[in-house]
């Protein structure tokens, strides 16, 4: 019997509640599966046929260690999902600009780095951006993300310069006010097929939709025109991912891509009764397709 692992972090060593839903489905189907902490010492990784990245929610703080571990999995003959090349591509938010070049509507985004720092006031004024969201190019769960405006240019520029010194490379995105009024869609796909979605909204006075910052969510199916646009985002990846989450904001009936989550996204399996089964079936299908 093949053996698989669901990779997590120390903080969630027993998996998140969401991931336990798929674990239980896999066990019910007779799959030999166990949760493992990705940076466990002395783990015999070659005991597993495949490894599925789940709640490794500290990877962005230990980027080099994480991808050395991914390389180790490959050297040990362990198949990793999603594909390691996809993980690397998706780990830096530059991918948004690549998707934009492919014709995917994205939230207007500018890349800045330590070697060529941007003048924040000029950047906002030239683009007529009233506000902007600034985040590291490697980030997760709104880590080190902040909101700026042209009102206090010196203070904001000093913060930006310090931020660049700390993170080397960052992205500056136009703040889209519709995130407060319309919310942000998170649409989940398994093996390239839409499964379910949630609509997330930030707390009053905040811009972050994550629950850690007071954001709320509700399970809801997007209208047809948004789902069709999310389908095009999935197609633009150029690779069928086991799991994917398209995060976007509707503006004038257009889906503006905020993030494409292919590494360790929350999949909101508890928001649709069939979602844990769909994910488990997708995993089992991938396992059956592995060569002996």
Average pLDDT score over residue span 213-227: 87
| Helix (H), strand (E) at residue 244 | strand 243-251
**Could you tell me the pLDDT band of residue 162, with boundaries at 50, 70 and 90?**
confident
Taking residues 172-184, report their average pLDDT.
Answer: 88
CATH fold of 95-104+178-262 reads: D-amino Acid Aminotransferase; Chain A, domain 1 (3.30.470)
User: What average pLDDT does the structure give for the chain?
Assistant: 89
For residues 265 and 25, give the distance between their C-alpha atoms in angstroms, rounded to a whole number: 19
Choices 3.40.30, 3.30.1490, 1.10.760, 1.10.3470: CATH for 109-173: 3.30.1490
Give me the residue spans of the domains in the chain: 3-90+275-289, 95-104+178-262, 109-173
CATH class of 3-90+275-289: alpha beta
Q: What mean pLDDT do residues 104-117 have?
A: 82
The DSSP line for 31-54 is -EEEEEETT-TT--GGG-SEEEE-
Contacts of residues 94-99 at CB distance under 8 Å and 24 or more positions apart, as own/partner, are: 94/137, 95/260, 96/171, 96/257, 96/259, 96/260, 99/233, 99/236, 99/257, 99/260
Query: pLDDT at position 168, please?
Result: 74
Number of helical H runs and strand E runs in the chain: 9, 13
């Amino acid at each position: 019997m093949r053996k698989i692992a669901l990779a997590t972090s120390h903080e969630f060593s027993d998996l998140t509640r969401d991931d336990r839903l798929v674990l239980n489905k896999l066990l019910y189907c007779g799959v030999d599966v166990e949760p493992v902490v990705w940076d466990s010492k002395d783990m015999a990784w070659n005991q597993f046929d495949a490894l599925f990245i789940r709640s490794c929610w500290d990877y962005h703080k230990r980027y080099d260690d994480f991808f050395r571990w991914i390389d180790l999995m490959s050297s040990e003959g362990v198949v990793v999902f999603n594909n390691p090349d996809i993980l690397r591509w998706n780990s830096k938010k530059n991918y948004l600009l690549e998707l934009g070049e492919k014709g995917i509507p994205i939230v207007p985004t500018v890349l800045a780095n330590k070697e060529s720092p941007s003048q924040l006031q000029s950047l906002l004024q030239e683009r007529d951006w009233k506000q902007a969201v600034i985040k590291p190019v490697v980030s997760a769960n709104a880590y080190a993300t902040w909101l700026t405006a042209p009102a206090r240019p010196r203070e904001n520029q000093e913060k930006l310069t310090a931020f660049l010194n700390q993170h080397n490379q960052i992205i500056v995105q136009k703040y889209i006010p519709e995130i407060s009024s319309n919310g942000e869609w998170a649409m989940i796909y398994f093996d390239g097929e839409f499964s379910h979605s949630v609509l997330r909204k930030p707390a009053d006075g905040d811009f972050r939709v994550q629950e850690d910052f007071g954001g709320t969510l509700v399970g809801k199916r997007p209208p047809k025109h948004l789902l069709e646009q999310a389908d095009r985002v999935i197609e633009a990846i150029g690779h069928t991912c086991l799991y994917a989450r398209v995060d976007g904001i509707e503006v004038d009936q257009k889906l503006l891509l905020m993030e494409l989550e292919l590494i360790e996204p929350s999949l909101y399996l508890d928001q649709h009764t069939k979602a844990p089964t769909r994910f488990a079936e997708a995993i089992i299908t991938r396992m059956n397709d592995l060569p002996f």
